[in-house]
Structure formats: structure tokens, C-alpha cells
Amino acid sequence: MNVSAQPTSGLAIPFDHHRLDRLMDEAGIDLVIATSKHNAQYLSGGHRANFFDYMDATGISRYLPVFIYPKGAPEKAAYIGHRLEGFQTKVAPLWVPETQTVTAGSADALQKAVDYIAKAGLKPKKIAVEFGFLPFDAANVLRAALPDAEWVDALYVMERQRAKKSAAELAKLKVASEAVLESMKAVIANHGPGATKSDIVEALRREETNRGLTFEYCLITCGTSFNRAPSDQVWGAGEIMSIDSGGNNHGYIGDICRMAIQGEPDAELEDLLAELETIQRAAMKAIKAGAPGHVIYDAGEPLRAQSKHHNHLDFLAHGMGMVSHEAPRLTNHGPVPYPADYADLPLEAGMVVSVETTLLHPSRGFIKLEDTVIVTDTGHEVYGEGARGWNRAGTAV
């Protein structure tokens, strides 16, 4: 059994636990049990099981990390992980007073968790668990062990906690955004007419990986098609391409979209992209700490509505960080359904907003700009700035 205990004094807690304690207190929550990879990674200070980075299934069960955080008692926090994680925690110990790397499946992980809760003398009345990331068998174990406790979804308290990024988190986001941009520029420059969408995506994956990122996705269009899946479609002379990609830097996603063309853009294409840039800049200019979240839409939406292309034009702003479309959630009309809980709340320095404007032009194709924007005390900062116009393909070929 691999169980390690650490001193309870002088804990180097890697997140603002006072903020989390306050948020839990406001919601009446006594205990958070995080079972998603991203929240376990956040609370542990960056730990993520390398063996289960891509696939959770193992044997007859699945991998399930469990992070236990009692309100106001970080000295009683614990991490329950798979036995293979013991190799990692041995060379990079976690901050928590107790780390157990002893589990083999989901129900087993929660059983170890409830055993620890009992051993630590915790008697929570209201428990926040991640409804969307708690398997049925593991939930049954928890419910049986604590039948009188009230359950609530931990999503809301954890997203509010993660919404305000630390300097270290922002540094990771900046690296991710800039690496994605440089990867896009390299791929565009190195591919002339005849490359397929799949060729471009594979080349982008290699470029992002070579820059230290974990490639997450690429939504890509070519010519006049609106289809954003990689395919054997050939990128021909004179055709446009949109490249929308997310690259992950130690848990934090850099997500931007830029445009490219085989050849030279005509005046209409120049004007169309310039209009999107105008909307982007107006929306970003409104961003600053203390302003209500809806100011972003107040600035961007009227320009979209006034455009002669308004029937084909979409504007969206959403939170970004460890998860796409995380807090602050600013609209209930976007492609991902959720309530606009943050529209009337003040933006905070350290929040991250993805701002995107998309034109589905009936004859010219899919044209889009997307930027990762950081809220600052005095305004905003764009991560991955540059290459905002028509990037000419094949210039390095």
C-alpha cells in the first residue's frame, strides 16, 4: 500500500484556498470531492496521471482520481489515485497531507475516499461532487457511506474558484496561445496548393507537440465548405482556409482561430476579414476588471447586428482555461447550452475570455477570428496576438 503523509504545518497550497473556503461557505458546502481530471489536477497543483492521460478504461473498471477538500481544513485534504501514480508522486510529491496511490477502479477509489473521510473525522452535511464526472458505481459507494448527507454539484463552486487565474496559470495560458499561433503560421507557410485538410491538421499536431503542447483539436474549413472536420478535401489555388485549434500546456488551453489563403485575397475578402477584426477589437476594448460581463456583448453584438451580413454572422464570448466554455459564462444563446450566470457579475482580473466572430458567407466560405483575452486591472491583454489578416500559404515552400 502506497500511502504518504506530509506535515500539516506550512503547507504550500498551490491555489487560493481562502477563496475556495469562502465560495464553499457561501454555498453551505462542507466538503468537495473532485473526480474530474481537470479539477483533480487543479487542486493537486498540476498532478495528472500520465498512464491515463488519454484513456480512462482499464480492465473491468475505469481510472478515477479523487481529491478531497474539507472547507477551512486544507490540512485534512487528501488525494486518492491509481497504484501507477505512485511512481509520479514519489518523484513529485503532492502538497496534500495524505496521498494514497492504491486504487484499481472507480468504486475502489471512492471506497478508499470514504475510508479516509471517516479516518479524518470529517462529518459533512453537504457534499459537492462532480455529477458529470462521478460514475454510477462510485456514486453508490459514496451514497451508502454517507446516506444522510446532502449532495450538490461541485461544478459551480469549482468553476468560480478556477475563473480567476493566478499568475502561474496565466503564464501557462500565454505559452499555449503563443505556441498555437506559431504552429499555425509554420503550417500555413509550409503548405502550398494540393495539401488536404487532414495534411494540415496532422502537420499542426506535430508543430504544437514540438513546441511542448498536447494537441487537443483542430476545427478546419477549406474553400467554400462549412464542414470543419479533417478530410481528404484538397486545399486548392485561390481557396481560403480557417484553422481553429486548441493546444494544451500542462492543463491550460490556448484556443485561437486564424485565416489563410492559397494566393492573394481580393478586395471583398479583405473587407470581410476586416469587419470581423473590427467586431473583435470593439468587444475586447470593453473588457476590464470591475465591468459587468455583459459589456463584451454590449460592444460586439450591435456591430454584428448592423452588418449587412448579420444573417450569416455570429458573435460569441466564453470563458477559457482548463476547460473550453468554463466560467465566466456570459450568454445563454451560444452553441454550448448553459445559463448566462456571469453576465451581470463584475469581471475580475485574471479571468480569461475567448472572443470569437464567425461569418458563414454563402459564397466565400467560413471566415473566423478567435482570440484568448485576459482581464486585467486596467483593461485586457490578448495572448497569441498576431497573424490576424490573410496568411499566405506556401511562402516557405
* DSSP 8-state symbol, 213: P
Q: Which residues contact 71 (CB under 8 A, 6 or more apart)?
A: 21, 24, 25, 29, 30, 31, 32
- pTM of the model as a whole: 0.94
pLDDT score for 334? 85
Distance CA 347, CA 297 (A): 13
Domain residue spans of the chain: 3-162, 167-392
pLDDT score for 1? 35
pLDDT score for 4? 42
May I ask the CATH class of domain 3-162? alpha beta
pLDDT digits (tens, 9 = 90+) for 193-204: 999 999 999 999
Residues 167-392: name the CATH superfamily: Creatinase/methionine aminopeptidase superfamily (3.90.230.10)
Angle, helices 167-189 vs 197-210, to 10°: value is 140
Q: Which residues of the chain have pLDDT under 70?
A: 1-10
pLDDT score for 260? 98
pLDDT score for 11? 83
